[in-house]
Chain A
Amino acid sequence: MGVAVKPKLAVYKFASCDGCQLSLLDCEDELLAVAGEVEIANFPEASRAVAPGPYDVSLVEGSITTPHDAERIKQVREESRFVVTIGACATAGGIQALRNFKDVREFISLVYARPEYIQTLATSTAIADHIHVDFELRGCPINKYQLIELISALLRGRKPNIPKHSVCMECKLRGTVCVTVAQGTMCLGPVTQAGCGAICPAFDRGCYGCFGPKETPNTASLSAWLKDKGGKSPDELVRAFRGFNAYADAFRKESEAHE
């Protein structure tokens, strides 16, 4: 009939804090415009109405931590043209991946009196460990402007403009004095992917790596500097790399090197 069909957007949640999908509702100035361009077909946090798949773009938040979710994610792949993982949990296992370094059975008994009621996997893993992922947005939480850029790019059929360089570049662009050089503050900026706008150094604190490793990060060099010139202990280095992207390959290896 010649009626333009709007692309369908779906939003899925796995183990997570809801913060990354909230970023979409936090686009107060852009939300109604986005809703004009795409059909928000399946977004339970915002709507009761669910339109059946397949979907053009599925945003996936959270990590895989239960046997049920390990199956559910396969269904998401089957009914989606593009699967985009949003945030540190979906791209690297998130803070939940701290369990990967310990015995999860001990964790269950610490939190729950009746462990037999609880179903959980020993690990918290990234979505890409289970299915093919077309694009990922980093961050704990993601940057909402990167989310708008990504949706716009996919709608126009172009590659999203998401830089892979380090947080250091953003500090320079912002004119922030280096907190490590000037104050000896522990900062993961040199090895962390840009995207947040280098907020932490602008507030006089070091980056804690919530966007995960940049392309080709030299974590060993940063650790050596922090140890020799910054006086940081191995325990402090382990904790620094073992944060919200603890199971991202480069950060995992670096934390293990100091254990």
Chain B
Amino acid sequence: MSERTIKVDYLARVEGEGALYLKIKDNKVEDVKLKIFEPPRFFEAFLRGRDFWEAPDITARICGICPIAYELGASYAMEDACGVTVGGQLRELRRLIYCGEWIESHILHMAMLHAPDFLGYQDAIQMAKDHPGVVRDALRLKKIGNDIMVLLGGREIHPINLCVGGFYKVPKKRDVRALMPDLEWGREATIALIKLIKTFPMPDFKQDYEFVAMRHPKEYAIIEGRLVSNKGIDIPIRDYDKTLVESQVPHSTSLHTHVVGRDTCHVGPLARYSLNFDQLTPLCQQTAREAGLGPACFNPFQSILVRGIEVLYAFEESIRIVQQYEEPDAPRVEVKPRAATGYGCTEAPRGICYHRYTIDEGGIIRDVKIVSPTAVNQPTIERDLRRFVEPNVGMTDEKLQWHCEQAIRNYDPCISCSCHFLKLTVERS
């Protein structure tokens, strides 16, 4: 009879505050809790009584790492409520700034938060001492993502230029075209980074997931599409609440999500990649195959590679948009409020981010629901931990703890977002 606990009181290299608690009895995992103690933040409540026009700016403050997901999710929901469609170059600009956010967020996670786990460093700054070129290139890649955000959004964090209907001001053609040399460098540097990551030791850990992501008939979905899964979901966004449900657990200020009548689900890069591989560019597909990835990926540790493929896609898509860009006549489509409920969902770097708003005829917000991707993934992370620990129970506490942290970081969890995240506790008995 032996019992041990592993506890991490404050998880590092994640966005927000969380902890891990693991209780092992007779080499069996008795309890796993990904505790989220990020203070509760009441965005759904603050938004009631505000003007529909304010929702993108206010919801951006849910997350400093993926503000575009909130600004655009809110905008799409309001446009849906008011019967407005945003197309043409304005839609292209929305995809372009979202590519900027994917690049900035994915590279931050891959190079600075996740790669040190594979190579055994405490952090990217330590890693930079032995691999200065890699860290410098990663910082430059990240900066290019941020440069897109600054040009289109005014600043990297909480951009100010996005609004319901489009933008306050559209960028000049010459300024957009000026991004090209960096984007072309970024595309090549990303391929080099993926080749390097391919050499990292990769735990063999395939899981049976229900992947949920958006799918669009014509493009690798980022801003619009139907919600689909590999186990039968295929619905318009407005049916989200009938398909995915939330429940509250005592150890978390973040709500947990399940598929109705089934189990937990998995959102984010692995889900998007596995459901929409056919829509990636030929260069992305070829680079993925050379990195040893198939057309679907069920090993969450390989998410670092899949993020790399998505960064490559974001660079290629940015190049396409920049090359065809012409300044639109107006910076936005006029949106007149009406009493209605609207739905919006976009692919944040960490997965689907759902918004629902009810507004009145004067445009005042009466009801709100927002679901962050980490809230959806939290129970899946706990299930991964349980399944990862049992075959590896012989590891020392220190080693097991680090591997568990790495398994959590596979999801790039954004705890600030989900509370509306992480300490590790392993208890062995």
Which residues of A are in contact with B by a Cβ distance under 8 Å?
13-20, 22-23, 25-26, 28-29, 31-32, 35, 40, 44-50, 65-66, 68-69, 94-96, 98-99, 102, 104, 106-108, 110-114, 117-118, 120, 140-141, 196, 199-200, 202-205, 208, 210, 239, 243-244
Contacts and interface: CB of A to CB of B under 8 A. Distances in A.
Q: 6 closest Cβ contacts across the A-B interface? A: A19-B64, A47-B123, A49-B122, A107-B45, A28-B143, A15-B39
Contact of B39 (A48, A65, A98, A117): A65
Given A98-B46, A107-B42, A111-B40, A47 B13 contact: yes
Given A18-B63, A40-B125, A46-B124, A28 B41 contact: no
B122 A47 contact: yes
B42 A17 contact: no
Interface stretch (B50-58, B177-185, B229-237): B50-58
B400 interface: no
Interface of B: 10-17, 37-42, 44-46, 48, 50-51, 54, 57-58, 61-65, 67, 108, 112-113, 116, 122-126, 128, 135-136, 139-140, 142-143, 146, 154-158, 160-161, 163, 168-169, 247-250, 253, 255, 331, 402, 405, 414, 416, 420
B40 A26 contact: no
B54 to A, nearest CB: 7
A77 B414 CA distance: 27
B12 A45 contact: yes
B54 A47 contact: no
B132 to A, nearest CB: 8
Contacts of B46: 95, 98-99, 107
A48 B61 contact: no
Contacts of A203: 154, 160-161, 168-169
Contacts of A205: 160-161, 163, 168-169
A13 B16 contact: yes
Nearest to B10: A44
Contacts of B156: 26
Given A28-B146, A32-B136, A118 B253 contact: yes
Q: Is the interface of B mostly helix, strand, loop or mixed?
A: loop
Nearest to B367: A110
A77 to B, nearest CB: 19
Given A16-B416, A25-B108, A204-B168, A118 B61 contact: no
Nearest to B255: A112
B375 to A, nearest CB: 12
Given A25-B108, A95-B46, 5 more contacts: A29-B139, A48-B13, A107-B46, A110-B44, A117-B250
Contacts of A204: 168-169, 331
B40 A46 contact: no
Contact of A110 (B45, B64, B169, B248): B45
B41 A15 contact: yes
Given A25-B108, A44-B10, A96 B168 contact: no
8 contacts: A13-B16, A17-B416, A19-B158, A46-B123, A46-B124, A107-B45, A117-B248, A117-B249
B17 A46 contact: no
Given A19-B157, A110-B45, A69 B39 contact: yes
Contact of A114 (B108, B248, B414): B248
Nearest to A244: B61
A208 B57 contact: yes
